[in-house]
């Protein structure tokens, strides 16, 4: 499988600061270019894709998202390895709240 291409872009799907979209690459808002935590998080998603393959990655990700929810889904928890326990379990509240959106868009 190919290595990830990283693109620094003006816009990502709100409320996200970055997105991994296999097999195309990792898309990070330009303002977070120097944020290693975001890059590391997205690189873990890329490794998940490499480990699972394209179809299983998307199936598993969306299944977990719909059944478990974004904050508690195992694929996201794995990607949050550098975060403290509160942030791991309250990721949306920490990074994707309406107040944060106005500051981070």
pLDDT tens digits, 47-99: 999 999 999 999 999 999 999 999 899 999 999 886 666 666 677 777 776 44
What pLDDT score was predicted for residue 87? 66
d(CA 102, CA 100): 6
Domain coordinates in residue numbering, the chain: 6-97
Residue 28 phi/psi, 5° resolution? Answer: -125, 135
- Asked if 25 contacts 6 with a C-beta cutoff of 8 angstroms, the reply is yes
pTM: 0.80
pLDDT higher than threshold 70 for residue 103:
no
pLDDT higher than threshold 50 for residue 105:
no
pLDDT tens digits, 16-53: 999 999 999 999 999 999 999 999 999 999 999 999 99
d(CA 30, CA 101): 15
What pLDDT score was predicted for residue 99? 44
Question: Average of pLDDT values for 10-20?
Answer: 94
Higher pLDDT, 4 or 63: 63
Report strand pairing: 18-21 vs 25-29.
antiparallel
């Amino acid at each position: 499988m190919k290595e990830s291409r990283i693109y620094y872009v003006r816009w990502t799907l709100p409320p996200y600061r970055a997105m991994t979209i296999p097999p195309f690459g990792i898309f990070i808002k330009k303002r977070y270019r120097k944020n290693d935590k975001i890059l590391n998080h997205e690189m873990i998603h890329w490794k998940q894709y490499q480990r699972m393959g394209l179809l299983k990655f998307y199936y598993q990700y969306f299944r977990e998202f719909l059944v478990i929810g974004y904050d508690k889904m195992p694929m996201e928890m794995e990607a949050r390895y550098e975060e403290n326990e509160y942030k791991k379990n309250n990721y949306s509240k920490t990074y994707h709240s309406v107040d944060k959106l106005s500051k981070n868009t």
